[in-house]
Structure 1
Amino acid sequence: MYIRHIWFSIITLSVFGLDQLTKIIVQKTIPLGHAIPVIEPFFQLKHIKNPGAAFGISIGNRFVFLTISILAIIVIFIYYLRLSKQHRGSYIALGLIMGGALGNLLDRVVYGEVTDFFAFYFGTIRLGDHLISLTYPIFNVADIGVSVGVSLLVLLMLIDEYRLHQTNKEARVESSMDSSPAHSTGD
Protein backbone atom coordinates (compact mmCIF):
# COMPACT_ATOMS: atom_id res chain seq x y z
CA MET A 1 0.00 0.00 0.00
CA TYR A 2 1.31 3.45 -0.86
CA ILE A 3 2.16 5.80 1.99
CA ARG A 4 -0.25 8.39 0.56
CA HIS A 5 -3.14 5.93 0.92
CA ILE A 6 -2.18 5.36 4.54
CA TRP A 7 -2.06 9.10 5.28
CA PHE A 8 -5.31 9.80 3.43
CA SER A 9 -6.99 7.00 5.41
CA ILE A 10 -5.55 8.11 8.76
CA ILE A 11 -6.64 11.72 8.23
CA THR A 12 -10.09 10.73 6.95
CA LEU A 13 -10.71 8.34 9.85
CA SER A 14 -9.30 10.80 12.42
CA VAL A 15 -11.59 13.64 11.35
CA PHE A 16 -14.56 11.26 11.07
CA GLY A 17 -13.84 9.68 14.48
CA LEU A 18 -13.23 12.99 16.28
CA ASP A 19 -16.38 14.43 14.72
CA GLN A 20 -18.54 11.51 15.84
CA LEU A 21 -16.96 11.39 19.32
CA THR A 22 -17.50 15.11 19.96
CA LYS A 23 -21.10 14.89 18.75
CA ILE A 24 -21.79 11.97 21.11
CA ILE A 25 -20.24 13.87 24.04
CA VAL A 26 -22.31 16.99 23.27
CA GLN A 27 -25.52 14.96 22.88
CA LYS A 28 -24.95 13.24 26.24
CA THR A 29 -23.78 16.26 28.26
CA ILE A 30 -25.50 19.37 26.88
CA PRO A 31 -29.31 19.45 26.61
CA LEU A 32 -30.60 20.47 23.18
CA GLY A 33 -30.74 24.26 22.89
CA HIS A 34 -28.53 24.85 25.95
CA ALA A 35 -25.03 26.30 25.99
CA ILE A 36 -21.91 26.00 28.14
CA PRO A 37 -19.70 29.11 28.22
CA VAL A 38 -16.06 28.37 27.41
CA ILE A 39 -14.61 31.87 26.91
CA GLU A 40 -17.33 34.27 28.02
CA PRO A 41 -18.93 35.84 25.99
CA PHE A 42 -16.87 35.04 22.87
CA PHE A 43 -17.07 31.22 22.67
CA GLN A 44 -19.51 28.62 23.93
CA LEU A 45 -20.59 25.06 23.27
CA LYS A 46 -24.24 25.22 22.22
CA HIS A 47 -26.10 22.03 21.33
CA ILE A 48 -28.31 22.52 18.27
CA LYS A 49 -29.65 20.33 15.48
CA ASN A 50 -29.09 21.40 11.89
CA PRO A 51 -31.32 19.83 9.20
CA GLY A 52 -29.60 21.88 6.46
CA ALA A 53 -26.14 22.11 4.99
CA ALA A 54 -22.98 23.47 6.57
CA PHE A 55 -23.45 26.62 8.66
CA GLY A 56 -27.24 26.20 8.67
CA ILE A 57 -27.77 26.76 4.95
CA SER A 58 -31.21 25.40 4.00
CA ILE A 59 -31.25 22.96 1.08
CA GLY A 60 -34.86 21.81 0.93
CA ASN A 61 -35.57 18.24 -0.18
CA ARG A 62 -33.71 15.76 2.07
CA PHE A 63 -33.37 13.10 -0.65
CA VAL A 64 -31.83 15.57 -3.09
CA PHE A 65 -29.44 16.81 -0.40
CA LEU A 66 -28.35 13.26 0.53
CA THR A 67 -27.83 12.44 -3.16
CA ILE A 68 -25.69 15.55 -3.65
CA SER A 69 -23.67 14.67 -0.53
CA ILE A 70 -23.03 11.12 -1.74
CA LEU A 71 -22.06 12.34 -5.22
CA ALA A 72 -19.66 14.87 -3.65
CA ILE A 73 -17.98 12.10 -1.64
CA ILE A 74 -17.62 9.99 -4.81
CA VAL A 75 -16.11 12.96 -6.69
CA ILE A 76 -13.66 13.63 -3.82
CA PHE A 77 -12.58 9.98 -3.84
CA ILE A 78 -12.13 9.90 -7.64
CA TYR A 79 -10.12 13.13 -7.47
CA TYR A 80 -7.98 11.59 -4.72
CA LEU A 81 -7.31 8.46 -6.82
CA ARG A 82 -6.27 10.56 -9.83
CA LEU A 83 -3.76 12.72 -7.97
CA SER A 84 -0.12 12.22 -8.81
CA LYS A 85 2.41 11.30 -6.14
CA GLN A 86 3.81 14.83 -6.22
CA HIS A 87 0.69 16.36 -4.69
CA ARG A 88 1.33 15.30 -1.08
CA GLY A 89 -0.48 18.23 0.50
CA SER A 90 -3.56 17.48 -1.56
CA TYR A 91 -3.88 14.09 0.16
CA ILE A 92 -4.04 15.84 3.51
CA ALA A 93 -6.62 18.34 2.22
CA LEU A 94 -8.78 15.63 0.65
CA GLY A 95 -8.55 13.50 3.81
CA LEU A 96 -9.84 16.44 5.86
CA ILE A 97 -12.68 17.04 3.39
CA MET A 98 -13.58 13.34 3.16
CA GLY A 99 -13.60 12.85 6.95
CA GLY A 100 -15.87 15.84 7.43
CA ALA A 101 -18.17 14.92 4.57
CA LEU A 102 -18.56 11.36 5.87
CA GLY A 103 -19.19 12.57 9.44
CA ASN A 104 -22.03 14.88 8.48
CA LEU A 105 -23.42 12.41 5.93
CA LEU A 106 -23.67 9.69 8.59
CA ASP A 107 -25.65 12.05 10.83
CA ARG A 108 -28.00 13.01 8.01
CA VAL A 109 -28.62 9.38 7.04
CA VAL A 110 -29.11 8.12 10.61
CA TYR A 111 -30.78 11.14 12.29
CA GLY A 112 -31.96 13.31 9.42
CA GLU A 113 -29.97 16.22 10.88
CA VAL A 114 -26.50 17.13 12.12
CA THR A 115 -25.41 18.04 15.65
CA ASP A 116 -23.60 21.39 15.73
CA PHE A 117 -22.07 22.96 18.83
CA PHE A 118 -19.19 25.42 18.32
CA ALA A 119 -20.73 28.89 18.78
CA PHE A 120 -18.89 32.22 18.47
CA TYR A 121 -20.27 35.63 19.45
CA PHE A 122 -18.57 38.87 18.37
CA GLY A 123 -20.78 41.43 20.07
CA THR A 124 -23.75 43.54 19.10
CA ILE A 125 -24.04 46.59 16.86
CA ARG A 126 -26.82 49.13 16.61
CA LEU A 127 -28.24 50.06 13.21
CA GLY A 128 -30.83 52.74 13.79
CA ASP A 129 -33.41 51.27 16.15
CA HIS A 130 -32.21 47.71 15.62
CA LEU A 131 -29.64 45.71 17.56
CA ILE A 132 -27.80 43.16 15.44
CA SER A 133 -26.03 40.28 17.14
CA LEU A 134 -22.73 39.39 15.45
CA THR A 135 -22.52 35.62 15.59
CA TYR A 136 -20.86 33.03 13.42
CA PRO A 137 -23.03 30.10 12.29
CA ILE A 138 -22.77 27.22 14.77
CA PHE A 139 -20.65 24.35 13.42
CA ASN A 140 -18.93 21.05 14.31
CA VAL A 141 -15.66 19.17 13.77
CA ALA A 142 -16.81 17.85 10.36
CA ASP A 143 -17.40 21.42 9.17
CA ILE A 144 -13.89 22.35 10.35
CA GLY A 145 -12.43 19.41 8.39
CA VAL A 146 -14.25 20.41 5.21
CA SER A 147 -13.45 24.13 5.57
CA VAL A 148 -9.76 23.64 6.38
CA GLY A 149 -9.44 20.96 3.68
CA VAL A 150 -11.01 23.13 0.98
CA SER A 151 -8.89 26.13 2.05
CA LEU A 152 -5.72 24.02 1.95
CA LEU A 153 -6.66 22.58 -1.45
CA VAL A 154 -7.24 26.07 -2.89
CA LEU A 155 -3.94 27.29 -1.41
CA LEU A 156 -2.07 24.33 -2.92
CA MET A 157 -3.68 24.96 -6.32
CA LEU A 158 -2.64 28.62 -6.17
CA ILE A 159 0.93 27.61 -5.28
CA ASP A 160 1.01 25.11 -8.17
CA GLU A 161 -0.32 27.79 -10.53
CA TYR A 162 2.33 30.26 -9.32
CA ARG A 163 5.12 27.69 -9.80
CA LEU A 164 3.85 26.85 -13.29
CA HIS A 165 3.75 30.55 -14.15
CA GLN A 166 7.32 31.01 -12.85
CA THR A 167 8.55 27.97 -14.83
CA ASN A 168 6.91 29.25 -18.02
CA LYS A 169 8.35 32.72 -17.42
CA GLU A 170 11.87 31.28 -16.99
CA ALA A 171 11.44 29.15 -20.12
CA ARG A 172 10.42 32.23 -22.16
CA VAL A 173 13.44 34.16 -20.89
CA GLU A 174 15.79 31.28 -21.79
CA SER A 175 14.14 30.89 -25.19
CA SER A 176 14.50 34.59 -25.99
CA MET A 177 18.15 34.54 -24.88
CA ASP A 178 18.90 31.49 -27.05
CA SER A 179 17.44 33.16 -30.13
CA SER A 180 19.13 36.55 -29.66
CA PRO A 181 21.95 37.52 -32.09
CA ALA A 182 24.50 37.84 -29.27
CA HIS A 183 24.08 34.15 -28.45
CA SER A 184 24.01 32.80 -31.99
CA THR A 185 26.91 30.69 -33.25
CA GLY A 186 26.69 31.97 -36.82
CA ASP A 187 29.59 33.10 -39.09
Structure 2
Amino acid sequence: MKKKLVIAIYLFITIFILDQVVKYGFANLAWDVDGPYMSLKLAYNYGVAFSMFSFLEHNLKYIQLLIIVIATIYLLKNKDVFDEYYLSIALLYAGGLSNILDRFTYGGVVDYFYWHYGFEFAIFNIADVIINMAVALIIYKQIKQIREEKKQKNIKS
Protein backbone atom coordinates (compact mmCIF):
# COMPACT_ATOMS: atom_id res chain seq x y z
CA MET A 1 0.00 0.00 0.00
CA LYS A 2 2.74 2.47 0.94
CA LYS A 3 4.67 1.82 -2.29
CA LYS A 4 1.52 2.40 -4.32
CA LEU A 5 0.83 5.64 -2.47
CA VAL A 6 4.36 6.90 -3.21
CA ILE A 7 3.99 5.99 -6.90
CA ALA A 8 0.59 7.72 -7.02
CA ILE A 9 2.00 10.87 -5.41
CA TYR A 10 4.95 11.06 -7.82
CA LEU A 11 2.65 10.46 -10.80
CA PHE A 12 0.22 13.11 -9.55
CA ILE A 13 2.95 15.72 -8.97
CA THR A 14 4.61 15.10 -12.34
CA ILE A 15 1.41 15.34 -14.38
CA PHE A 16 0.03 18.25 -12.36
CA ILE A 17 3.21 20.34 -12.79
CA LEU A 18 3.59 19.46 -16.48
CA ASP A 19 -0.01 20.41 -17.17
CA GLN A 20 0.25 23.69 -15.26
CA VAL A 21 3.49 24.67 -17.03
CA VAL A 22 1.93 24.08 -20.46
CA LYS A 23 -1.22 25.99 -19.51
CA TYR A 24 0.88 28.88 -18.19
CA GLY A 25 2.63 29.02 -21.56
CA PHE A 26 -0.63 29.29 -23.46
CA ALA A 27 -2.24 31.72 -21.02
CA ASN A 28 0.76 34.03 -20.59
CA LEU A 29 3.35 33.45 -23.33
CA ALA A 30 1.19 33.26 -26.49
CA TRP A 31 2.19 29.74 -27.51
CA ASP A 32 -0.57 29.61 -30.16
CA VAL A 33 0.34 27.77 -33.39
CA ASP A 34 -1.94 27.24 -36.40
CA GLY A 35 -1.68 23.95 -38.25
CA PRO A 36 -3.50 22.37 -41.19
CA TYR A 37 -5.15 19.63 -39.09
CA MET A 38 -4.79 20.70 -35.51
CA SER A 39 -3.96 24.05 -33.96
CA LEU A 40 -2.72 25.03 -30.55
CA LYS A 41 -4.97 27.92 -29.66
CA LEU A 42 -5.79 29.39 -26.26
CA ALA A 43 -9.41 29.09 -25.18
CA TYR A 44 -11.08 29.23 -21.78
CA ASN A 45 -13.76 26.71 -20.84
CA TYR A 46 -16.12 28.02 -18.19
CA GLY A 47 -18.07 24.75 -17.96
CA VAL A 48 -17.02 21.12 -17.99
CA ALA A 49 -16.73 18.80 -21.01
CA PHE A 50 -17.99 20.54 -24.15
CA SER A 51 -18.75 23.63 -22.00
CA MET A 52 -21.67 21.91 -20.23
CA PHE A 53 -22.77 23.61 -17.01
CA SER A 54 -21.07 26.87 -18.00
CA PHE A 55 -23.98 28.65 -16.32
CA LEU A 56 -22.37 27.51 -13.04
CA GLU A 57 -19.15 29.28 -14.05
CA HIS A 58 -18.36 30.95 -10.70
CA ASN A 59 -19.64 28.13 -8.49
CA LEU A 60 -18.32 25.20 -10.51
CA LYS A 61 -14.87 25.27 -8.90
CA TYR A 62 -16.42 24.94 -5.44
CA ILE A 63 -18.71 22.12 -6.55
CA GLN A 64 -15.73 20.29 -8.06
CA LEU A 65 -13.65 20.81 -4.90
CA LEU A 66 -16.50 19.36 -2.86
CA ILE A 67 -16.53 16.31 -5.13
CA ILE A 68 -12.77 15.90 -4.60
CA VAL A 69 -13.20 16.12 -0.82
CA ILE A 70 -16.01 13.53 -0.87
CA ALA A 71 -13.91 11.23 -3.11
CA THR A 72 -10.93 11.59 -0.78
CA ILE A 73 -13.03 10.74 2.28
CA TYR A 74 -14.39 7.71 0.42
CA LEU A 75 -10.86 6.56 -0.46
CA LEU A 76 -9.67 7.01 3.12
CA LYS A 77 -12.49 4.77 4.30
CA ASN A 78 -12.06 2.27 1.46
CA LYS A 79 -8.32 1.77 1.16
CA ASP A 80 -8.82 -1.38 -0.90
CA VAL A 81 -10.32 0.77 -3.69
CA PHE A 82 -7.21 2.96 -3.70
CA ASP A 83 -5.01 -0.13 -3.63
CA GLU A 84 -6.76 -1.51 -6.72
CA TYR A 85 -7.04 1.74 -8.70
CA TYR A 86 -4.14 3.88 -7.43
CA LEU A 87 -2.79 4.71 -10.91
CA SER A 88 -6.20 5.76 -12.21
CA ILE A 89 -6.87 7.76 -9.05
CA ALA A 90 -3.54 9.59 -9.36
CA LEU A 91 -4.37 10.45 -12.97
CA LEU A 92 -7.91 11.59 -12.09
CA TYR A 93 -6.70 13.78 -9.23
CA ALA A 94 -3.85 15.30 -11.30
CA GLY A 95 -6.08 16.21 -14.23
CA GLY A 96 -9.05 17.22 -12.13
CA LEU A 97 -7.16 19.37 -9.63
CA SER A 98 -5.14 20.99 -12.40
CA ASN A 99 -8.35 22.02 -14.16
CA ILE A 100 -9.82 23.25 -10.85
CA LEU A 101 -6.69 25.33 -10.21
CA ASP A 102 -7.21 26.93 -13.64
CA ARG A 103 -10.67 28.06 -12.53
CA PHE A 104 -9.17 29.84 -9.52
CA THR A 105 -6.15 31.20 -11.43
CA TYR A 106 -7.59 32.13 -14.84
CA GLY A 107 -11.35 32.15 -14.26
CA GLY A 108 -11.84 29.11 -16.51
CA VAL A 109 -10.03 25.97 -17.65
CA VAL A 110 -7.17 26.68 -20.05
CA ASP A 111 -7.69 24.65 -23.24
CA TYR A 112 -5.48 24.68 -26.32
CA PHE A 113 -5.67 21.52 -28.51
CA TYR A 114 -8.01 22.38 -31.37
CA TRP A 115 -8.72 19.70 -34.02
CA HIS A 116 -10.23 21.23 -37.15
CA TYR A 117 -9.50 18.87 -40.06
CA GLY A 118 -12.63 17.35 -41.60
CA PHE A 119 -14.71 18.36 -38.60
CA GLU A 120 -14.33 20.70 -35.69
CA PHE A 121 -13.81 19.09 -32.31
CA ALA A 122 -13.98 20.62 -28.86
CA ILE A 123 -10.84 22.37 -27.65
CA PHE A 124 -9.15 20.41 -24.85
CA ASN A 125 -5.93 20.14 -22.82
CA ILE A 126 -3.49 17.58 -21.40
CA ALA A 127 -5.49 17.28 -18.16
CA ASP A 128 -8.59 16.31 -20.16
CA VAL A 129 -6.62 13.57 -21.94
CA ILE A 130 -5.22 12.33 -18.60
CA ILE A 131 -8.73 12.21 -17.08
CA ASN A 132 -9.99 10.21 -20.06
CA MET A 133 -7.03 7.83 -19.77
CA ALA A 134 -7.88 7.29 -16.09
CA VAL A 135 -11.50 6.49 -16.92
CA ALA A 136 -10.39 4.10 -19.68
CA LEU A 137 -8.07 2.34 -17.21
CA ILE A 138 -10.90 1.96 -14.70
CA ILE A 139 -13.23 0.55 -17.36
CA TYR A 140 -10.50 -1.82 -18.56
CA LYS A 141 -9.86 -3.09 -15.02
CA GLN A 142 -13.59 -3.53 -14.43
CA ILE A 143 -14.06 -5.53 -17.63
CA LYS A 144 -11.00 -7.64 -16.83
CA GLN A 145 -12.30 -8.29 -13.30
CA ILE A 146 -15.77 -9.28 -14.56
CA ARG A 147 -14.25 -11.69 -17.10
CA GLU A 148 -12.03 -13.21 -14.42
CA GLU A 149 -15.00 -13.66 -12.08
CA LYS A 150 -17.00 -15.35 -14.86
CA LYS A 151 -14.07 -17.62 -15.61
CA GLN A 152 -13.76 -18.58 -11.92
CA LYS A 153 -17.50 -19.18 -11.72
CA ASN A 154 -17.40 -21.48 -14.78
CA ILE A 155 -14.47 -23.43 -13.31
CA LYS A 156 -16.40 -24.04 -10.07
CA SER A 157 -19.54 -25.14 -11.93
Task: Report the RMSD for the aligned CA atoms in angstroms.
Answer: 2.1
Correspondence 1:1-187 to 2 at 5 A: 2-30=2-30, 35-37=32-34, 40-81=35-76, 82-84=78-80, 87=84, 90-123=85-118, 134-172=119-157
1:86 Cα shift?
6.0
Cα distance in 2 for partners of 1:47, 1:153 equals 30
Aligned length in residues: 155
1:105 Cα shift?
0.6
Cα distance in 1 for partners of 2:79, 2:154 equals 25
Higher RCO, Cα 8 Å, sep 6+:
2
TM-score (norm 1): 0.74
1:50 Cα shift?
1.4
Higher helix share: 2
1:78 Cα shift?
3.9
Higher strand share: 1
Cα distance in 1 for partners of 2:149, 2:89 equals 22
Specify every segment of 5 or more residues in structure 1 that has no aligned partner in the other structure, as ranges. Answer: 124-133, 173-187
Cα distance in 1 for partners of 2:83, 2:93 equals 20
1:41 Cα shift?
1.5
